[in-house]
Amino acid sequence: EIVLTQSPGSMSLSPGERATLSCRASQSVSNSYLAWYQQKPGQAPRLLIFGASSRASGIPDRFSGSGSGTDFTLTISRLEPEDFAVYYCQQYGSSPPFSFGPGTKVDIK
Amino acid sequence: EVLLLESGGGLGQPGGSLRLSCAASGFIFSSYAMTWVRQVPGKGLEYVSTISDNGGSTFYADSVKGRFTISRDNSKSTLYLQMNTLRAEDTAIYYCAKDVGSNYSPWNDWGQGTLVTISS
């Protein structure tokens, strides 16, 4: 089973700043099948990025994903007030069971 | 509009059973694999189980294998999770999720979740 590690565990930033979130896999993720989700308190997760770099429908272009193999990055170019949330990476590079990272909390400085 | 509505959560006894349901609408249910994901309140997301579009393939996390059974009724557009031999550590919000249409993941539509609490 692929284990995902996210760093940092949390970050405090101001609106307008750039956020860079990291996700590292214990082994190579096939086909870069790595997704990112955003979750706000009391809400279900929301798919942001799939295939490491493709934005899901309706996701603003300030969100971008990159990476391959074992190292992946989610970048939020300029934080909007609604972007403060927890972000999870998830791999789906092989047959289930799939795995999530532990999450990175982005809060307001 | 895709809608996923979970039900069946509540208080269960250690060693007991519960069955969760997820009623789907707004898409051709029989064309998509479906997945259960859970989350202990305040903690991270945990994959639970996936079922293929026709129900012919099922997958489970090691933590629930042998205790939980995923199934679906395509005629009713409903997904199920039969949970047996429940443990305190099964306490969580359980979400059903629909994939984007291939490879069983990722999941672009989620229900609002149903809370399962296992306690004596």
B61, B62, B103 ranked by CB distance to A92: nearest: B103
Contacting residues of B for A37, CB less than 8 Å apart: 45, 106
- Residue B101 clears pLDDT 90, i.e. is over it: no
Q: Give the pLDDT confidence score for residue A88 in this predicted structure.
A: 98
Minimal CA separation from B62 to chain A, in Å: 8
Contacting residues of B for A33, CB less than 8 Å apart: 103, 105
Task: Say how far apart CA A17 and CA B70 lie, in whole Å.
Answer: 43
Give the pLDDT band of residue A108 (cuts 50, 70, 90).
Answer: very high
% of chain B with per-residue pLDDT over 90: 95
Q: Give the pLDDT confidence score for residue B105 in this predicted structure.
A: 87
Q: Give the pLDDT confidence score for residue A67 in this predicted structure.
A: 98
- Residue B56 clears pLDDT 90, i.e. is over it: yes
A39 touches B: beta carbon within 8 Å: yes
B105, B108, B111 ranked by CB distance to A56: nearest: B108
Q: How many of the other CB atoms lie within 10 Å of CB of A8?
A: 12
B47, B95, B108 ranked by CB distance to A100: nearest: B47
Q: Give the pLDDT confidence score for residue A40 in this predicted structure.
A: 97
Interchain CB distance below 8 Å, B47 and A56: no
- Residue B38 clears pLDDT 90, i.e. is over it: yes
For chain B, the distance separating the N- and C-terminal CA atoms, rounded to the nearest angstrom, is: 40
Q: Residue B2's closest CA among B100, B81, B72? A: B100
Give the pLDDT band of residue B96 (cuts 50, 70, 90).
Answer: very high
- Residue A94 clears pLDDT 90, i.e. is over it: no
Half-sphere exposure of A41 (CA within 13 A, CB side): 5
- Residue A95 clears pLDDT 90, i.e. is over it: no
Q: Pseudo-torsion of CA B22, B23, B24, B25, nearest 10°? A: -160
Give the pLDDT band of residue B7 (cuts 50, 70, 90).
Answer: very high
Interchain CB distance below 8 Å, A96 and B104: yes
Give the pLDDT band of residue A1 (cuts 50, 70, 90).
Answer: confident
B35, B44, B50 ranked by CB distance to A88: nearest: B44
Mean pLDDT confidence for B2-12? 97
Q: Residue B96's closest CA among B1, B15, B2, B13? A: B2
